[in-house]
Amino acid sequence: MPKSNAPTRRSNSPVKSAEPRPENIFLFIPNLIGYSRILLAGASLYYMSYHPHYCTILYSFSCLLDALDGYAARKFSQSTKFGAVLDMVTDRCTTSCLLCFLSSAYPKWAILFQGLISLDLASHYMHMYASLDRGAGSHKKVEKKRSRVLNLYYSNNKILFVFCAANELFFLAMYLLSFPQFSSEIHSWPWVVAIATFPICAAKQWINVVQMVKAAVSLAEGDLEQRRKSL
């Protein structure tokens, strides 16, 4: 059979490159650290009512990982909105659970601890919502003209760590002092920690008030601007 002398036609269509495999945000390293924080916090809550040593160790590790997940997000370029929300929600839930226990352990001061829970949740929720409303990429991005206090608080990682750590240490110290084996001696280390961290904890609550007020003002300004545009 005679062979065909017709030239072979080459396809001019471009070769399709393999599409990159979609990333799984839920398996990013900082988010995995966030899940471990939740597990540690849950375990600490299990021991909270009857084993202060286990509870304190587990709770402390959960809080320490809060600094590690932020470092991992920057190190591996895995900063995500989901991770930021996961981090904030975990912080709010763990602190609220500890304050709930303190409310029952110190019934005379229950209204104070309940107020701190409300302030913590309200200020952070309003701040997050106001940040999204302004179009900010992160709730930690606060301009100086809006609030010098919040700008310094969120832009300096060392200051943020000290305030958050001292805040949790004070509440943990108060938790330990609710047990007779720690409260019987005035010079026990939980007393020392409580006295040393109280001023910073109080300052942290003041920052929460500032954060809530600034968020309210920001939301009101956004409402006024939207109403002007609609007229």
Q: Kindly list the catalytic residues.
A: 91
Residue 26 CB partners (closer than 8 Å, separation 6+) = 82
User: Which residue carries 């110190």 as its tokens?
Assistant: 106
Radius of gyration over every alpha carbon of the chain, rounded to an integer in angstroms: 25
3-class state of residue 124 by DSSP: helix
- For 49, other C-beta atoms within 10 Å of its C-beta total 11
User: Which residue carries 């829970």 as its tokens?
Assistant: 117
Q: How far is CA 6 from CA 3, 9, 12, 19, in A?
A: 9, 9, 18, 36
- Cα–Cα distance measured from residue 144 to residue 88, given in angstroms and rounded to the nearest whole number: 22
